[in-house]
Amino acid sequence: MFDFTGKVVLVTGSSRGIGRVVAEEFAACGARVAVHYHSNRTAAEATLAALPGGPHLLVSGDVADAAAVAAMVEAVVAEAGRIDILVNNAAIYEDHPLAEVDYDTWTASWRRVIDTNVIGAANASYCAARHMIRQGGGRIVNVSSRGAFRGEPTGPAYGASKAALNAMSQSLAKHLAPFNISVGVVAPGFVETDMAREALTGQSGVDIRAQSPFNRVARPAEVAYAVLFLASERAEFMTGAIIDVNGASYLRT
């Protein structure tokens, strides 16, 4: 359905979950994929080994570390010769309900989440876009969340980080369009991943699935499809768009 033959794609946080499936789908469509991980090298190597085609590559680094982000992007360009598509998928979620945590816990949680989910994505976008400008164009797709719109009561830093990611994406979409770089956003709700397994177990899972009229949560492949669509050639004029993938569990106007 999509053809990414000859394209080099960096997917942050692609050792497992949504990122892994995004990497697999790009590889299946002919792309050369850079699988990124922070600490779980074993999982990243398993993802790399499962990708069709290739040769693909492995890069590591903490996206909250500006120097590590720059090194990650440069490693991709050094090995693959270019970078055509960046998918900012790496993110963290932390519970820190205001009425229940002390001030140090509150401030530390905000810093970790914002550094990873917003500043990390901003820095990766900067480093990748500078190469894309020299190459004559590219694509950036950011993975956000419905939490940016409906709120995250026990994880407000996460909700705020995803709202900031949306705003950043739209700002970059306007700035980078003259350089033939489009920027899009995919905003999932709950997705069937290892990270969500506990929340989707028992009565909590029943309640979460009932939020959608489909009575289920998203499959990783459904999120990946939206990412690949925004990265495709024909979606260029959708730059700045935010695609919801939440099964009508939250409808925004």
Listed by start position, the domains of the chain span 8-192+219-245
Q: What is the pLDDT of residues 191-203, one digit of tens each?
A: 998 878 888 899 9
8-11: strand order across its sheet: 57-60, 32-37, 8-11, 85-88, 138-143, 181-188, 242-245
Q: Prior bond to 55 cis, omega within 30?
A: yes
CB 14 within 8 A of CB 47: yes
**Tokens representing 93?**
């979620």
Q: Where do we find the tokens 């979606």?
A: 235
What CATH architecture does domain 8-192+219-245 belong to?
3-Layer(aba) Sandwich (3.40)
Q: What is the pLDDT of residues 62-115, one digit of tens each?
A: 999 999 999 999 999 999 999 999 999 999 999 999 999 999 999 999 999 999
Q: What is the pLDDT at residue 17?
A: 95
Which residues are known catalytic residues?
158
Provide the whole-model pTM: 0.96
In angstroms, the first-to-last Cα distance of the chain is 30
CB 31 within 8 A of CB 42: no
DSSP letter at 112 equals: H
